[in-house]
Structures are given as structure tokens and as C-alpha cells.
Structure 1
Amino acid sequence: MKTAVSSVKEGTQSHIFADFKEITKARLSISVVFSAIAGYLLGAPEIQLYPILLLAFGGYCMVGASNTFNQIIEKDLDALMNRTKDRPIAAGRLSVRTASVIAVILTIIGIATLYILNPKTAMFGAISIFLYTSAYTPLKTKTPLAVFVGAIPGAIPFMLGWVAATDEFGIEPGTLFMIQFFWQFPHFWALGWMLDEDYKRGGFKMLPTGKKDRKTVLQIIMYTIWMIVVSIIPVFGITGALTLSIPAAIIIFILGMVMLVYAFRLYERQDNASAKKLMLASVSYITLMQIVYVVDKFL
């Protein structure tokens, strides 16, 4: 009997943990934390573990809160799409009331934790939640411009790390913001291309032209080019304390060109397989680019 009860408890706890990961989108949240830590390492005059832990914990809470609010608002639409119908709220495993409590608690803890670092970091974190929840989420069913609005909170983490390390906002974090801002468009439009049919079931307008056509891919190509340009601007010594060596700039340029090649392939083939390759290339780009920046600083 004890063994059976213990198994039930373990199963329940495992289920709760799985739902928590799903509602906070653990993989996405961890990738955001990675970007924030990369920004911190670039801005910090000396590396200290305590601020990194605060940034990681507070950042996860903030992103988790945004994702939870998003799933509360979109619960009925999530139930219509194959990729989201099994989410905890849409599937009925988690009530809106419980999810709301989780979202509010994560918001409070996240802002308080980031405030310990400095008030500016907490402010930008709060702005990110507000824009994601109050602007991007409701606009997704209204206009493709939602992606532009969503790119703002999506670009904050890289910048946030620098602000957390320096308590200053200037050209350096502004440049980090612009790199991730331009990156958002090819990334999300490639994803939107792959999932266009599913998004339409939920009424989401994610592609810039509303269709899987070459005009959409032309915009992907344009934003990819801007992303590459902004990513290597620090090599010219015009971005303050944010610098980049020539070898590092060449590596980042090559990474960007690989992504651009996949964008041109999508233009040529206009199929989901090409969109998926572009999406995966974009994920690789943002991760490797940030690693190159950090390694370049300390070499």
C-alpha cells in the first residue's frame, strides 16, 4: 500500500513539474537566460557568481511569467492548434486561476530579484513582461505587425545582461538590443512559415504578407542582412566599450552568411523543409554569435 501511495505521489509531482516546465516554456526561458548571461559577461568589469545567479533566476521568472500570462490569454486559441492543444491550460490540466497565481508570483519574484541587481534591470524586465503580454499577445490575431512588437521584448535579454552588469544604458546595450531585434524576424518568420497552417487554425497572423510567398522571404532576407551588419558593427570601434576583434567579426560574418544562404534557399524552394533549416540556422547563429562575443572579450 505504501509503495502504491508513494508511486502515485511521485507520479503527481512529476506531472506537476512537467506542467510547470510547459507553462513557463522551460527551453525558451533557458535560452533567454543564456542571452542575458552573455550580455552580463560582456559588460561586467569582473565576473562574480552572485549577480549571475540573480540574473539567471530573475530572468527565468520574468520569461516564465510572460509565457504563463500568454497561455492564459490564448487558452481557447491554443486548444485549436496541434502544437499547443496539449498545453496545461488549454488541455484543462491547470485552471486559469492557478495559472494566474503562478504568473503573478513569478512576476513579483522576478522583478524583486532583478531589482537587487539594480533598478534599471528590474525596469527593463517589467517592460518586457508588459509588452509581451499586453501588446504582442493580443496583436497576434490582429496584424502581422505583432512580430515587430514582439521583437522588442524578445531583444531585451541580451541588452539586459549588460545593464545588470553596469547599471548603465548606452550605445553598448543598445547595440546588443539591435542585434537580437533584427534576428527575431528571420527566426520567427521561418517558424511562422513552418507552422502557418496551424497558426491559421488559431487565427494568428504571423507572416508579414499573410502568405507563404517570395515577398515574405524577401523581408526575411532583408532583416537577415541587417542582422549581420549590426552584429559586426563593434569591429569598427564605434560602440563604446563593446568591441569586437577582426577575427571574431569574420567568424560572425561567416555565421551570418550561412544563415543568409538558407534564407535564399527558402526564396528558391518555398517549402517547409527549407524554412525549418533556416529556423535551425537562426538558433545556431544567435547562440554561436553570443559565444564568439564573450570568448573574444576574454582572449
Structure 2
Amino acid sequence: MGKTITSTARPSLISDFKEITKIRLSVSVVFSSLAGYLLGVETVNYQTLVLLALGGYFMVGASNAFNQIIEKDLDALMKRTKNRPIPSGRMSVSTAFVIACVFTILGIAILYVINPKTAMFGAISIFLYTCAYTPLKTKTPLAVFVGAIPGAIPFMLGWVAATNDFGIEPGTLFAIQFFWQFPHFWAIGWFLFDDYKKGGFFMLPTGKQDKGTAVQTIMYTVWTILVSIVPVFGFTGRLCLTPVSAIVVFLLGLGMLYYAIQLYKKMTVVAARQLMLASVSYITLLQIVYVLDKFLR
């Protein structure tokens, strides 16, 4: 008995808090939001930047805490997630629920201070992630389509925070991150296929690691690339892209497409992992290129 307690109690309270709110994922979401803000703003307001970063973190933290409460029994079945705070018994459901509720209130309140529209999209994101995406994961591969909506909100959220307006510009930012989610999620679904299967999760479009899934991954990668260069044609309002930056983004996209094609050719876990890493690099570099393009123009 003593041994069990020692082994499960090893992670600290701070590391459990980081785990329940998925701090690494939160940081990537905050990065997207701040990139969207810099693209939309006329003059940078550092107070708004800080509020957006905090609100974004609380928003994602809340979604993840609710997610881990709902999936606690399934998480216990999977190697990747069985040592999370709730299934391992280090954190009670009630503690996690308090964290989730406090984070929801703080996230929406902070985003509301920026402007009401930002708070509204933040609330929609938490609701869809928790009440639609999470329950659907064990029912249908269409869960990825639903999950792509809250997943695509952060980039757009930054623009709305900067302008208090939703139009073609944040719509385009939303579309970029929406289409990008598919090759990203399906790559993860592929290399974690066996583990997801233990938890009863259906993440791949065909439900299998097959050519059908690989073909759809390529297709959505192409859509991502096309949507990403749309601003160069000048019909996305204030969201513009110079030809040089559009070429850079296009070449980055070809890099991701290369790994999507490799997955089709090799059909291996290694190829799927490489595509996942390429997809993360792509969206991060795209956001950097977009912001630099605006400020160096």
C-alpha cells in the first residue's frame, strides 16, 4: 500500500495543476490569439495583450479540466492518460470541477473586459469543446469536425479582441486554423491509434489507419495551404499578405504536404508523428510570417 501511494504521489501539486489545465496546449492557444490580435490592431495596447493571454489561458484551462472530468474513466484505460491527476487518484473530481468553474468565470470575465464579442466567442469555445466535442469523441469520427471549431477560434479571437468586430478578416483566420486541425488531429489519431482504441475514441475519418484516412489528410492539407494564401489576392479586407510572404507560406505548406504524402506512402506511426510535428511547425511559422508581414510592410 505504501509503495502505491509513493509512486502515485510523486508528481507535485503544481505539475498536477499544469496537467489538468494542459499548460503547453494553453501556451500554443495564447500564441495564436496574440498573433491574431497583432494582425487586427492599429496600435498595440499591452494591457489588452496581457488580458488576452490570461483570458485565453483560463479559457483553454477550463475546457481541458472539464474534458478530463468527463473522460476520467476512459483516461484510466489509456497508457498516455492513465497517470493524469484524476484517474490516478491524485486529484478529486470536485477539486477539478472547482478549477474548471473558476477558470471559466475568470476566462469569460477577463475577455469581457476586452470587449463583449471576445467573451462571447470564448464562451462558445468552452461550450463546444466540453459539451459537443468531448462526448462525440467516443461516438463518431465527426467529433474532429466539431472539435475543429473551438480549436480554430483562438487565431480569430485575437482579431476580434483588437477590433470588437467579426468580418471577413477574422473569418479567414478562423478558416486557416479550422482546415489545419484535420491533418494535425488525424496525424495524432494515427500514431496514438492503439491507445485511443482502448479508450473507445474514434479519431480517424474512416476509423482505421488506412489509405482512405491518408487521402483525406492530404486533401485537408491542400485546403489548408490554399486558404492560407488567400489574403495575397486582396479580397480579405484589412487582412493582407505581400507576394513574398505568400510564397513563404506556400513553401511552408508544401513542407507539410510532403509529410502528408509520406504518410500515404509509408502508412507508419513514424510518418504520422513526423506529420504532426510538421503541422505544429507550419501553423506557428505561418502566424509569425503573417505578423512580420504586417509590421515590416
Same fold (TM over 0.5): yes
Q: CA deviation at 1:241?
A: 0.3
> Whole-Å Cα distance in 2 between the matches of residues 190 and 106 of structure 1?
30
Q: CA deviation at 1:16?
A: 1.1
- Secondary structure in 1 matching 2:12: helix
> Whole-Å Cα distance in 2 between the matches of residues 240 and 163 of structure 1?
14
Corresponding position of 1:274: 271
Letter in 2 for 1:176: L
Corresponding position of 2:259: 262
Structure 1: which 5+ residue stretches go unaligned? Answer: 1-11
Which stretches of structure 1, 4 residues or longer, exceed 4 Å deviation after superposition? Answer: none
- Secondary structure in 2 matching 1:27: helix
1:29 aligns to 2:26 (yes or no): yes
Corresponding position of 1:190: 187
- Secondary structure in 2 matching 1:37: helix
**Which of 48, 52, 56 is 1:59 aligned to?**
56
Corresponding position of 1:148: 145
Corresponding position of 2:167: 170
Structure 2: which 5+ residue stretches go unaligned? Answer: 1-8
> Whole-Å Cα distance in 2 between the matches of residues 169 and 211 of structure 1?
38
> Whole-Å Cα distance in 2 between the matches of residues 75 and 236 of structure 1?
47
> Whole-Å Cα distance in 2 between the matches of residues 145 and 197 of structure 1?
19
Letter in 2 for 1:168: D
**Which of 260, 281, 290 is 1:293 aligned to?**
290
- Secondary structure in 1 matching 2:238: coil
1:229 aligns to 2:226 (yes or no): yes
Corresponding position of 1:45: 42
1:240 aligns to 2:237 (yes or no): yes
Letter in 2 for 1:143: T
Q: CA deviation at 1:48?
A: 1.4
TM-score, structure 1 as length reference: 0.95
- After superposition, give the CA deviation of every residue in 1:122-150 in whole Å (9 maximum; x if it has no partner): 00000000000000000000000000000
Q: CA deviation at 1:13?
A: 12
- After superposition, give the CA deviation of every residue in 1:68-118 in whole Å (9 maximum; x if it has no partner): 000000000000000000000111100000100000000000000000000
Letter in 1 for 2:243: I
> Whole-Å Cα distance in 1 between the matches of residues 143 and 254 of structure 2?
27
Q: Any residues of structure 2 matched to 1:58-137 within 5 Å, and which?
A: 58-137=55-134
Corresponding position of 1:6: none
> Whole-Å Cα distance in 2 between the matches of residues 298 and 211 of structure 1?
44
The percent identity for this pair of structures is 71
- After superposition, give the CA deviation of every residue in 1:42-85 in whole Å (9 maximum; x if it has no partner): 00001111000000001100000000000000000000000000
Corresponding position of 2:176: 179
- Secondary structure in 2 matching 1:29: helix
Letter in 2 for 1:278: L
1:252 aligns to 2:228 (yes or no): no
Q: CA deviation at 1:14?
A: 7.7
> Whole-Å Cα distance in 2 between the matches of residues 94 and 191 of structure 1?
27
